[in-house]
Structure 1
Amino acid sequence: MNKNAKIISLPLLVLTKTCTSKVSGAMLTSIRIPGTSNHQKYYRKPIKIPRKFPTEEDVYCYNYFPLILNGDGSPWKEANLYILSKLKSNLTPSVSTYLSIASDLVAFKRYIEKEDINPFELPKRKLLRPTYRYRNSLIFKVQASEISPVTAQRRIGSVIAFYRWLLDKSIIKSDHKLWEDKDKYLLINDHYGASKFQKIKSTDLTIPNPKNKNPYSDKIEDGGKLRPLSQSEQISVLNAVAKTRNIEMMLIHLLALFTGARLQTILTLRVSHFRINLPDNLDEIRLTAGYGTKIDTKYNKQIVLILPRWLHEKIRAYTYTERARKRRSKHTIKNNDGSRKFFDNR
């Protein structure tokens, strides 16, 4: 029975390097050599990151790292190194972003394993190269209504970015191109209403996505067709959450319903945002989120969250409870100003 490539989420990935037994902090590790009963032993130690002061160091680690496995269960080395390189180059990495990239690469891996394609062999004939073959397979899936054009575009985009990294790191070399680059110009409007053309890079692997918006639709397009929950549906959601007897989940859902904020925004609200004195005549509270506020938003865009006073006071009361204090005490990472994240997902 053939197995498919897949993703497993590592709760904690600590980067280490090999060393001798005499090095301080060295740990003995034993691994089994695939296909045999033999074990190989070696010493390793965590890689440290220097902080502001020479005597302070942090361990190089990531929570919930998406590890990609081949169909035979072994790690896909190149893909995992690619994701790790993107994580290391990002000061504020988002787990969901890299999980999405990993999912796209797993879909590609399953395709090349099924078709017995070597992703690093680039034949002279253009349409036999892995990138073009994969593009055609995605188009067939779109035509068969198995995936949406948006999903197909995202998947081929992730594969192109992966191959760009492989070429940049000289992991693969070939006289034959994986795609043809071309320049495109988009007409955009700036903050002042002025129009200008912006040059962007494109390739001949682009998958067409004709727009056909329905002016009478009650849905919005945001990674899929979304619609607001009806009042009865909102009540059903809150009743289901109430049965869990989890006050944190209830407050998160109330924030989502009454502000319309994304999960990444809600989970980065701080205790300090609720430890403020409000005027008696104030019925709603407005919080600025986005760039410069320490509250995450999509593309770091600045937005304003409007909270009803009663919800702000409920969360304020919660922040002073012993339950909340214990949860915050488990959060070991502090910001530069000593504040802690409220509803942190770590």
Structure 2
Amino acid sequence: MDKFDNECKKENKIECKKIREYRSTEYDVERNEHIETGEYCSSYPIVLKSDGTVWDKASLYIDFLRSDRNRSSALLRTAGNDLLDFLRFMEANNLNMLHLPIKKAQRVTFRYRHDLLEREKEFKLNGHKKIGRNTISQRINRIVDFYEFCIENKIFTFTELDNRPYTLLKKRIYFEDEKGFTQKKVVRSSDLSIPRAPRAIQTSDSIKDGRKLHPLTEQEQSIFISYLKASNNRVLQLICLIALTTGARIQSICTLRVNDIKNMMISKKVKGSFKKIEIGGGESIDNKNDKKYIIFFHTELLEMLNNYINSEEWKERSTQSYYKNKNNYVFLTKFGEPFYTSRKELEDRKNRL
């Protein structure tokens, strides 16, 4: 087996495992047992080295993100994958975090930066898609934050650093606020920083909503509806019909509950043949940034949804799910999993309801 095969085999052993239903504990010396602290995380990443052991520094950093910065499970998974990529690079090149010789270009952090930029240019040998500019920018910033955490918490000290892994800088950036005025702010950066991809130019026919969105033309809507009619996937049909007729986000559609449909069915009509429901702001249906909003459902669409939640297909899916038949999600996969985990479910799981 040649060197390349050995490196591939070694890299495949380096992985990021996920602990489902993670609950933080503290060790009680007097009682000689672990006591739950009440802190909960639906999916907690653990980075494993090639020898199968846990990368302890990564675990300490991820737990810091969870406990001190109160980051979401999704962000923890992203951080785990960023650290996994850095670990794979180090082990593939027989380096460690303290490999910091005098020549800056030979330091582990700068070599990793160079490796990210090279991978942006070329496709990986294992067939994966090339890495994007925004991803490599995120990863190098993550590594700087990781080092900062290790230094601040004395996981390793300045005396162990032959040279600095990077130099911290302050940069002024200019941005356009919601009212269209140019604003300036000072941000922390480093000489490792990789600029993100430039934003696409805003065009007159697009909607600025966190990213550039284009409304479907009448012809595109017609083609899309024809496709939906031909589909035999009832869940896909209903999700798309809600999106087309209400303008709701996928986050809101997929956190819609059975009781939401039942309550709308018996509520009074508004605006002719429509019924309304509130989302976000602490309601059972999630919305971006938990912003309070009202969406309107046509009575015919409600009838379709009511028929679906009373169908054998929905009942079979619900029996495999977390909530069973108790105010479950309207939309579940064939394995009983939600397409989007709501804030309420995270709270219910934390409280073991």
**Alignment CA distance shift 1:88-1:278 (3 Å):** farther
Instruction: Check whether the contact 1:14–1:46 (CA below 8 A) recurs between aligned residues.
Output: no
Q: Deviations over 1:34-88 (max 9, x none)?
A: xxxxxxxxx6423233xxxxxxxxxx33222222211222222221222222222
Instruction: Check whether the contact 1:268–1:296 (CA below 8 A) recurs between aligned residues.
Output: yes
Counterpart Cα distance in 2 of 1:329 and 1:157: 38
- The one-letter amino acid of 2:19's match is L
Partner SS for 1:15: strand
- The one-letter amino acid of 2:17's match is I
Instruction: Check whether the contact 2:270–2:276 (CA below 8 A) recurs between aligned residues.
Output: no
Counterpart Cα distance in 1 of 2:117 and 2:108: 14
Is 1:80 the counterpart of 2:59 in the alignment? yes
Task: Say which of 168, 184, 199 aligns to 2:186.
Answer: 199
**Alignment CA distance shift 1:219-1:103 (3 Å):** farther
Counterpart Cα distance in 1 of 2:60 and 2:191: 27
Instruction: Check whether the contact 2:133–2:196 (CA below 8 A) recurs between aligned residues.
Output: yes
Is 1:156 the counterpart of 2:148 in the alignment? no
Which region of structure 1 is more displaced relative to structure 2, 219-228 or 170-179? 219-228
Instruction: Check whether the contact 1:186–1:198 (CA below 8 A) recurs between aligned residues.
Output: yes
Q: CA RMSD in A?
A: 4.4
User: 1:7 maps to what in 2?
Assistant: 16
Q: 5+ residue gaps in structure 2?
A: 1-5, 124-129, 332-337, 346-353
TM-score, reference length from structure 1: 0.67
Instruction: Check whether the contact 1:10–1:66 (CA below 8 A) recurs between aligned residues.
Output: yes
Task: Say which of 104, 124, 136 aligns to 1:126.
Answer: 104
Task: Say which of 300, 303, 306 aligns to 1:310.
Answer: 300
Overall identity of the aligned pairs, in %: 25
Counterpart Cα distance in 2 of 1:151 and 1:273: 38
Counterpart Cα distance in 2 of 1:6 and 1:108: 11
- The one-letter amino acid of 1:311's match is L
User: 1:185 maps to what in 2?
Assistant: 172
Displacement of 1:110: 0.9
Task: Say which of 28, 32, 37 aligns to 1:48.
Answer: 37
Counterpart Cα distance in 2 of 1:68 and 1:234: 44
Counterpart Cα distance in 1 of 2:112 and 2:225: 41
User: 1:39 maps to what in 2?
Assistant: none
- Alignment map for 1:138-177 (pairs within 5 Å): 138-144=116-122, 146-174=130-158, 176-177=163-164
Task: Say which of 53, 71, 75 aligns to 2:50.
Answer: 71
Q: 5+ residue gaps in structure 1?
A: 24-42, 50-59, 333-338
**Alignment CA distance shift 1:314-1:97 (3 Å):** farther
**Alignment CA distance shift 1:186-1:113 (3 Å):** same
Counterpart Cα distance in 2 of 1:165 and 1:314: 52
- Alignment map for 1:29-40 (pairs within 5 Å): none
**Alignment CA distance shift 1:302-1:281 (3 Å):** closer
TM-score, reference length from structure 2: 0.66
- Alignment map for 1:1-346 (pairs within 5 Å): 1=6, 2-4=9-11, 5-19=14-28, 23=31, 44-49=33-38, 60-89=39-68, 94-144=72-122, 146-174=130-158, 176-209=163-196, 211=198, 213=200, 239=231, 241-242=233-234, 251-252=238-239, 254-256=241-243, 258-259=245-246, 261-269=248-256, 273-274=260-261, 275-276=263-264, 277-279=267-269, 281-284=271-274, 289-290=279-280, 295-300=285-290, 305=295, 307-315=297-305, 323=315, 330-331=322-323, 345=341
Counterpart Cα distance in 2 of 1:195 and 1:296: 32
- The one-letter amino acid of 1:82's match is Y
Q: Deviations over 1:300-346 (max 9, x none)?
A: 5666655444334544666789949x7799549xxxxxx99876635
Counterpart Cα distance in 2 of 1:292 and 1:65: 25
Displacement of 1:105: 1.6
Counterpart Cα distance in 1 of 2:66 and 2:133: 27
Instruction: Check whether the contact 1:251–1:315 (CA below 8 A) recurs between aligned residues.
Output: yes
Partner SS for 2:54: coil
The alignment of Structure 1 onto Structure 2 pairs a total of residues equal to 305
Q: Deviations over 1:225-284 (max 9, x none)?
A: 998787656665782533xxxx6x764454455556544333444566542413265345
Which region of structure 1 is more displaced relative to structure 2, 178-187 or 132-141? 178-187
**Alignment CA distance shift 1:62-1:118 (3 Å):** same
Counterpart Cα distance in 1 of 2:202 and 2:27: 60
Counterpart Cα distance in 2 of 1:89 and 1:132: 28
**Alignment CA distance shift 1:6-1:182 (3 Å):** same
**Alignment CA distance shift 1:299-1:133 (3 Å):** farther
